[in-house]
Amino acid sequence: MIGRRDQVMSEVVSEGSNPADRTGLRSKNRILLVDNDKTILEGFRQILEMEGFGVDTAESGKQSLDKVCGEHFCLALVGGSLPDMSGEDLEAKMGEIASDIRVLGLGTRMIDPKKLLEIVRANTESQI
């Protein structure tokens, strides 16, 4: 699995232009990744940062709410299971704190890196 992820990440980078050329635009679009699996968080962080997105991570609902209170995120990608609350509860609470954040629930264990980028681009394009 790791070998396949590395291959796809390499393909994603080689298809685009230099990520540094895009950083100025996308750094305004911060993304919060929420999942209880550190490996998934780190892998997705690397993919999105290579594309020039600003990324932060949280391993629980509470940790993600604390981050949303202190920083602006245009998008939150929430993984399958969290130790302290459901994805629906988290989405509702994030909406109370920051009405402009988009929250998407993802079955992160099944997301291909290219699909991840498509989802993120589609949900941040209007905010760039």
1 pLDDT tier (thresholds 50, 70, 90): very low
For the chain, give every domain's residue range: 2-127
Among residues 92, 104, 93, 113, which one has the least CA distance to residue 13?
113
Residue 14: per-residue pLDDT = 42
Tokens of 63: 């940790």
Q: What is the pLDDT of residues 58-85, one digit of tens each?
A: 999 999 999 999 999 999 999 877 899 9
pLDDT, tens digit, 9 for 90 and up, residues 12-63 = 334 443 333 333 444 468 999 999 989 989 999 999 999 999 999 999 999 9
- Report whether CATH 3.40.50.720 matches the domain 2-127: no
What pTM, to 2 d.p., does this model score?
Answer: 0.73
Q: What is the dihedral of CA 96, 102, 106, 111, to 10 degrees?
A: -160
